Structure 1
């Protein structure tokens, strides 16, 4: 049976005061999409509000863009998912085998407190679905409870965009909290690559997380392994 995966993206296009344009990070959507597409999976792109997914323009320009991103944006069928994404409110945990939270700084504006995303991830966790993220996608875990009533990440080995990477990116004053620190507070056993920006993936049973954009393909491949186990 064909595996079904839902990629969840931010709908937030600006953060901070004064507002700084942001959105989803293109590579963090495109790389996993292509990995799962090559495996014959059915991939649905969703976002908090639905409709057009705002892309961080920095992720569409050198040196951060790549041929894979450019080809995706020129792929009418694939790009349609970004233009007309499904609202998270319309996504049901039972309809998918795995969920993937793409990053980008826009997630700090809507992932942590969106009731529909929280409810979806709690239902997915209760049903034993694979839940994954890369970079700031882990913002979506902040207020999610596991089946035991504790924070979803409590006692789990995981990773995300690190505090050091946040400072290095110069965005530390724009975000409401440092994600690594927040997840540690919630009981996560945090892991990170030795070097900034190096790819790093952690799998703890059905929770699969990647540290930064460079980890996008590796996270997707690890999800394939978990689904195939």
Structure 2
């Protein structure tokens, strides 16, 4: 039987501070989906359920990326009909899923980073030693998650995510609720790592120290395929 992976998208669609449309980032769903969909059974969820907002800037930015454009044109139902996080939490706690993956984009910084249901979801996967994974801004979902002893989930674990330099280069640092690199570095005890160059691929596979499960993070859009491949490997595929 194919392993079941829960994919989580943001429900947040607009940054009020600069009136900037946002959401989840196209290649960060398209590329992992390309890797995962034929070998796993996927469930897509978001905090509000229903349609999860796709960041329009990511459509423009990746219009010449065949994987992203094919996904955009053929798989719209995946993000238009998401399940509600609150409805999948009890199923996750009963062990229905084998791994969880968070798609990036700026949206998660505003809803998923502090969403109590999302935090409980991640804790249920981590406590069961099931792989938890995220790409780009997606690792923001881990910053407020703790282990049973109260330590940060990422304590003493090598971790990556969208860097300060990358945030500065897209000119959104001033409207972010926090800087992801700084927060991940703090919560991990200085174990944040990144690619040699901004926008370079960086995928980090480490262990949730207290619990023993796999923690997979990718730095940016270029890391999306690698995160999907690392997740397949963690599932023994």
Establish whether TM, by shorter chain, passes 0.5. Answer: yes
Corresponding residue of 1:148: 149
**2:230 counterpart of 1:222:** yes
2:167–2:173 contact (8 Å) kept in structure 1: yes
The 5 Å alignment of 1:1-229 reads 1-38=1-38, 40-63=39-62, 66-75=65-74, 78-91=75-88, 92-93=91-92, 94-188=95-189, 189-205=191-207, 206-228=214-236
For residue 137 of structure 2, give the secondary structure of its aligned residue in structure 1.
Answer: helix
> How many positions carry a matched residue from both structures?
226
Provide the alpha-carbon RMSD of the alignment: 1.4
1:16–1:175 contact (8 Å) kept in structure 2: no
Corresponding residue of 2:210: none
TM-score, normalised relative to structure 1: 0.94
| Structure 1 spans left out of the alignment, 5+ residues | none
Quickly say closer, same or farther: Cα 1:159–1:170, change in 2 above 3 A.
same
| Structure 2 spans left out of the alignment, 5+ residues | 208-213
1:40-99 alpha-carbon deviations (Å, 9 max, x no partner) = 210111111111010110111145652112212222xx3212100011111132211110
For residue 149 of structure 1, give the secondary structure of its aligned residue in structure 2.
Answer: coil
For residue 198 of structure 1, give the secondary structure of its aligned residue in structure 2.
Answer: coil
Quickly say closer, same or farther: Cα 1:224–1:82, change in 2 above 3 A.
same
4+ long deviations beyond 3 Å? 62-65
TM-score, normalised relative to structure 2: 0.91
Between the aligned partners of 2:63 and 2:155, the Cα distance in structure 1 is 33
Between the aligned partners of 2:31 and 2:18, the Cα distance in structure 1 is 32
